[in-house]
Structure 1
């Protein structure tokens, strides 16, 4: 393994970048044990504390896994920050179209797999959404995450948990939210009822209806911007109640 010697500036960041490069370039495979802190410190000519901090960053990012008494192992060779950069580079319409696809399948699975605890959580999330108009965006995100959690698919849940935050930030940044339609509480209620009744087709329809108006609004904004109308940056600060 030929790692460059780290320079002076931002040593931890430098080591993080170099270890990421080794992971994504195939230096180590998933489930391989990486060299010890001492070995990496010697190779990079940095202190063990610097290596320890860099490894901690990569553990938090999901690339490495620390197993007590056994060392540190490769958990993933795909850098999640690259996914984040791709989402941030995409425009709001791209992001929202992906959200529709994810939530449509999540609603179908939730209708097939929900249990009593899931329904209690969804009903509670819906009541919170009704009651907290000044925090509607956060409450809405929690509601939609509750639908995904009812799939009982841990991979789906983790992907959506990561993705939903980026969706929210992307749309706020790109659209400033002023022209987004208000949250449709009745359709949220219909989604909960469809999941509770175990009707996958109805649950999917409800999700698509929930996101139809936001999708239309985003398309309209994109069309105006393309034709020389107002750009997203021209819009004022976001309003709190919108289906994003």
Structure 2
């Protein structure tokens, strides 16, 4: 998507809006370096101060990260996602505990509120996830696992939980990938299963769904603790 030359009114807001579109629509992907300040000035037809203010605003919102002497990089695709990314750059334990807080209640609600269409989507997604897991196709497994958890939250029909979790998706994916690395290929299939969670949602059993969602994450936290202990002892 090419940058459009801005009008002369509300320049900073216009530049912020155009840069945001490039980020949200994936023209500038997460982790990529955006064009330099002189390049943006030329493309947009505005002054350096306008570009600088727009970049500063997006950095403050968490979408961009300014690295002195290196450039400016895309950090997240939304303000909420940017805030979450600041959280999960610290501790995996924090992410898992936050997931537990959201996913347990979402699973409980999904068991009571899910539609047949949502159940079909959950079943299909878990099938893809399990097939990738059995084939040791780890990247595909991580993507499908993350999708499955997101669909559970969507099936809760709680708009705020869904919005929070949408901003949390990148952290969830990172925690799933890290969990696979902790378990390793030899033990991952044995440890990781969501079939009981899907069954509880299918059967309309909120208590069982909450128990399964929390139990899985508790197991992840226990294994993380074991890995941390081993690292200290090693």
* CA pair 184-201 structure 1, distance change in 2 beyond 3 A: farther
Do the aligned partners of 1:148 and 1:160 also contact (CA within 8 Å) in 2? yes
Alignment partner, residue 209 of structure 1: 215
Query: Unaligned stretches of 5+ in structure 2?
Result: 1-8, 16-40, 64-78
In the alignment, is the contact (CA less than 8 A) between 2:115 and 2:155 conserved in 1?
A: yes
The answer for unaligned runs of 5 or more in structure 1 is 1-34, 64-77, 231-244
Residue 143 of structure 1 aligns with which residue?
148
Match of 2:167 among 155, 162, 170: 162
Determine the C-alpha separation between the residues in 2 that align with 1:218 and 1:188. Answer: 19
CA RMSD of aligned residues (A): 3.7
The residue that corresponds to 1:23 in the other structure is none
Q: Distance in 1 between matches of 2:202 and 2:92?
A: 31
Partners of 1:183 and 1:220 in 2: how far apart? 18
Q: Which is greater in Rg?
A: 1
Question: Residues 71-120 of structure 1, C-alpha deviation per residue, up to 9 Å, x if partnerless?
Answer: xxxxxxx775344213212x112221221121101101111211111111
The 3-state SS of whatever aligns with 2:153 is helix
Instruction: Give the TM-score, by structure 2 length.
Output: 0.60
Question: Which residue of structure 1 aligns with residue 183 of structure 2?
Answer: 179
Partners of 1:187 and 1:206 within 8 A in 2 = no
- Structure 1 residue runs of 4+, over 4 Å off? 38-41, 49-53, 170-173, 183-187
Measure, in 2, the Cα distance between the counterparts of 1:197 and 1:116. 11
1:218 aligns with one of 218, 224, 231: 224
Alignment correspondent of 1:94: 94
Name the one with the larger helix percent: 2
- How far apart are residue 156 of structure 1 and its match? 1.5
Give the number of equivalent residue pairs: 173
Q: In 1, distance between residues paired with 2:212 and 2:12?
A: 55
Show the 5 A alignment for 1:7-86.
Answer: 36-37=10-11, 48=46, 51=50, 54=54, 58=58, 81-86=82-87
